């Protein structure tokens, strides 16, 4: 069975961990310096009253403690670099999973948890927790040394170690469930806070502030309760372990004093035994105090393992020629991420270079589902057909390669916090000014851009908040047209456009078709159909009609039933007489706008 991505990343740091283990071994030997120094002072220096001996062992003490400090400093730095190295190995995969997870998992999945999990792994490896794990294997060595001083002291040390190890196991049992609850409530708190921030405009306009704050307080209170439960579970046992270690350290000192009174132990051995036991139990106490971080790191690794396994990294496919001939959709069935019930079923059509397709239909007909499948955002169900460009399915291209030949304008416009030029150029640092300006002119916004405060270098703010809705839509249109993609898919591209914007949109559609590209437009206003030659009518997730624009609209309009008005005087103008054909379609009792 292959290792998980996280374990593989940790495995690549094996040499560094071996170095940390070597440093830990030397450190745990050097830490005996104080005990041996006390032993020599009490058993040799004081009885002999030798000052040169005292000076000699003191100088040796300083030298050994300096080496101890240097190695401990190096160990901490190496562990920090290990955490940083693991972050660097996984961060691209984690961010890729963050981008893909919303398209492959059920709604409500907190993809950003993966980033927090990676931070948790790195921060734990960079802290004191791992040092305790490297020091604990030396516990038997210390107990053995105490046993050599006196068997009774050795038995006392063994009992002390067993007692603290039992506390560590109790910490594991007590913190496991609270830790999971804390992670869950933290994710819910973060998700609600982000949703409230995104909807701040609606909250303010509709006076929802008090209700949102009240709901957030409940979510936050649950989060705080879970955090307190986890902190109490770990902190309480941590306090007990600290007091117990001090008690045991004093206990061995008292036991040693009793043995010294009996003449079975020297004063130096008494002090040395107490110091060695303190050092032997210290890693267990450190482990208990850092147990919350250890449990969090372990749970983070498990979640990262599951996420990266569910969204494996794609290999590098064979480079295919840029598509230039056709788009074929065959028996396509697609369900929303994480669902099994298809939103569209058995969709089939074919477009050639230069074609323009309008997609019409009532709400919930499956229009947005279809175009998400056409741009590879959503994947077909198993045995759910295919989408092919020039005969090859979309997954045969690397995402960067196929993305170059797909222009996509989603219904919900999202822009990045950068300049206008960066957004049009799809964040390509190598983008040429000519290509950016060409896309802007094609979308009809060059003049608008140059009149902005800093022209193409104007920063638009998070989500494009410094632009109007119409400006954002036209910048997004320019982004879709950037680089002359072969397939351009536009979802309600004129929902925020004025008459001038509609004319620019029609011109852009015709320009794409004239250069041999394919344009697909989800249309809810008739002006969007002006530059297209074909129409696909959807209803209830299935094809209702497909073919030349005028023929499809005529066929659909044959099923239109206009109810008779109650009185001639009150009758409003018929939408079919007042508006261009295709604006309002009523088929089988359902409204379909085109």
- For the segment 373-395, the average pLDDT, to the nearest whole number, is 90
**pLDDT number for residue 585:** 39
Strands across the sheet containing 356-360: 406-409, 487-491, 518-522, 356-360, 534-539, 542-548
Dihedral through CA 493, CA 495, CA 501, CA 507, nearest 10? Answer: 30
**pLDDT number for residue 421:** 92
**pLDDT number for residue 283:** 85
d(CA 513, CA 522): 16
**pLDDT number for residue 114:** 84
**pLDDT number for residue 572:** 39
d(CA 391, CA 378): 19
Phi then psi dihedrals of residue 340, to 5 deg = -115, -20
Q: pLDDT per residue over 542-552, tens digit each?
A: 998 899 988 88
Cβ pair 124, 293 in contact under 8 A: yes
**pLDDT number for residue 107:** 61
**pLDDT number for residue 576:** 31
Minimum mean pLDDT range among 344-358, 476-490, 563-577: 563-577
User: Other CB atoms closer than 10 Å to residue 21's CB: what's the count?
Assistant: 12
Higher pLDDT, 381 or 234: 381
Residue 82 pLDDT greater than 70, yes or no: yes
**pLDDT number for residue 317:** 74
Residue 389 pLDDT greater than 90, yes or no: yes
**pLDDT number for residue 558:** 62
State what percent of residues in the chain have pLDDT above 70: 91
Instruction: Indicate the pLDDT class of residue 59, thresholds 50, 70 and 90.
Output: very high
Q: pLDDT per residue over 175-216, tens digit each?
A: 777 877 887 888 788 888 878 877 777 778 778 888 888 888
In whole angstroms, what separates CA 189 from the centre of its chain?
A: 16
Higher pLDDT, 211 or 569: 211
**pLDDT number for residue 152:** 92
Provide the phi-psi class of 350: left if phi over 0, else alpha when psi is between -120 and 50, else beta. beta
Instruction: Indicate the pLDDT class of residue 348, thresholds 50, 70 and 90.
Output: very high
Distances (CA, A) of 64 to 19, 59, 60, 288, 409: 20, 9, 6, 29, 68
**pLDDT number for residue 473:** 87
Residue 565 pLDDT greater than 50, yes or no: no
Residue 322 pLDDT greater than 70, yes or no: yes
- For the segment 308-316, the average pLDDT, to the nearest whole number, is 73
**pLDDT number for residue 328:** 94
Residue 31 pLDDT greater than 80, yes or no: yes
Place of tokens 């997004």: 476
Q: pLDDT per residue over 225-280, tens digit each?
A: 888 887 777 677 777 877 888 888 888 888 888 888 888 888 888 888 888 888 88
**pLDDT number for residue 4:** 57
d(CA 228, CA 215): 20
Q: pLDDT per residue over 406-441, tens digit each?
A: 999 988 888 888 899 999 999 888 889 999 999 999
State what percent of residues in the chain have pLDDT above 90: 22
**pLDDT number for residue 330:** 93
- For the segment 46-55, the average pLDDT, to the nearest whole number, is 87
**pLDDT number for residue 106:** 67
Dihedral through CA 312, CA 313, CA 318, CA 323, nearest 10? Answer: 90
For the chain, what is the mean pLDDT? 82
Of 230, 203, 229, nearest to 216 (Cα)? 203
- For the segment 570-579, the average pLDDT, to the nearest whole number, is 35
Instruction: Indicate the pLDDT class of residue 559, thresholds 50, 70 and 90.
Output: low
Instruction: Indicate the pLDDT class of residue 3, thresholds 50, 70 and 90.
Output: very low
- For the segment 577-593, the average pLDDT, to the nearest whole number, is 36
Q: pLDDT per residue over 114-160, tens digit each?
A: 888 888 888 888 877 888 888 888 888 888 888 988 899 999 989 98
**pLDDT number for residue 188:** 82
**pLDDT number for residue 589:** 35
- Do β-strands 487-491 and 518-522 pair in parallel, antiparallel, or remain unpaired? parallel
């Amino acid at each position: 069975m292959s290792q998980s991505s996280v374990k593989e990343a940790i495995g690549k740091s094996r040499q560094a961990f071996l170095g940390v283990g070597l440093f830990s071994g030397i450190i745990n030997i050097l830490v005996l310096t104080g005990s041996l120094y006390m032993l020599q002072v009490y058993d040799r220096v004081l009885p002999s009253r030798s000052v040169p001996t005292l000076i000699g062992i003191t100088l040796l003490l300083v030298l050994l403690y300096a080496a101890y400090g240097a190695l401990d400093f190096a160990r901490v730095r190496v562990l920090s670099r290990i955490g940083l190295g693991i972050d660097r190995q996984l961060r691209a995969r984690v961010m890729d999973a963050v981008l893909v997870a919303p398209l492959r998992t059920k709604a409500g999945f907190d993809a950003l948890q993966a980033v927090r999990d990676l931070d948790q792994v790195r921060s734990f490896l960079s802290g004191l927790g791992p040092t305790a794990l490297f020091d604990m294997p030396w516990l038997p060595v210390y107990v053995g040394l105490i046993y050599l001083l006196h068997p009774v002291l050795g038995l006392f040390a063994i009992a002390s170690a067993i007692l603290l190890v039992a506390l560590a196991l109790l910490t594991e049992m007590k913190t496991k469930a609270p830790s999971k609850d804390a992670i869950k409530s933290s994710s819910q708190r973060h998700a609600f806070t982000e949703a409230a921030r995104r909807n701040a405009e609606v909250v303010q306009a509709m006076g929802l502030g008090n209700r949102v704050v009240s709901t957030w307080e409940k979510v936050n209170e649950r989060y705080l309760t879970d955090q307190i439960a986890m902190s109490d579970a770990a902190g309480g046992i941590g306090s007990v372990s600290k007091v117990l270690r001090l008690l045991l350290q004093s206990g061995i000192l008292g036991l040693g004093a009793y043995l010294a009174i009996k003449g079975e132990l020297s004063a130096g051995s008494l002090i040395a035994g107490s110091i060695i036991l303190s050092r032997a139990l210290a890693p267990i106490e450190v482990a208990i105090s850092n147990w919350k971080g250890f449990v969090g790191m372990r749970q983070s690794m498990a979640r990262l393992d599951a996420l990266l396994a569910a969204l494996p990294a794609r290999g590098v496919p064979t480079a295919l020629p840029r598509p230039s001939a056709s788009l074929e959709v065959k028996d396509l069935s697609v369900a929303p991420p994480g669902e099994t019930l298809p939103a569209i079923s058995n969709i089939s059509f074919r477009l050639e270079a230069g074609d323009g397709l309008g997609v019409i239909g009532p709400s919930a007909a499956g229009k947005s589902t279809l175009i998400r499948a056409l741009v590879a955002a959503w994947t077909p169900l198993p045995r759910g057909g295919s989408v092919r460009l020039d005969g090859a399915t979309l997954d045969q291209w690397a995402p960067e390669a196929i993305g170059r030949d797909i222009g996509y304008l989603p219904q919900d416009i999202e822009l990045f916090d950068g300049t206008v030029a960066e957004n049009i150029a799809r964040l390509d640092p190598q983008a040429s000014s000519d290509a950016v300006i060409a896309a802007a002119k094609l979308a009809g916004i060059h003049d608008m851009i140059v009149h902005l405060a800093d022209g193409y270098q104007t920063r638009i703010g998070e989500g494009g908040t410094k632009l109007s809705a119409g400006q954002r839509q036209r910048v997004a249109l320019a982004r879709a047209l950037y680089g002359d993609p072969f397939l351009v898919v536009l979802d309600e591209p004129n929902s925020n456009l004025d008459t001038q914007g509609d004319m620019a949109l029609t011109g852009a559609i015709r320009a794409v078709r004239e250069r041999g590209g394919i344009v697909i437009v989800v249309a809810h206003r008739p002006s969007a159909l002006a530059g297209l030659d074909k129409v696909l009518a959807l209803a209830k997730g299935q094809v209702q009609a497909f073919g030349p624009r005028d023929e499809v609209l005529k066929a659909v309009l044959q099923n239109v039933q206009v109810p008779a008005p109650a009185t001639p005087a009150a009758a409003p103008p018929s939408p079919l007489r007042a508006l261009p054909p295709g604006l309002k379609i009523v088929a089988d009792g359902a409204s379909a706008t085109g």
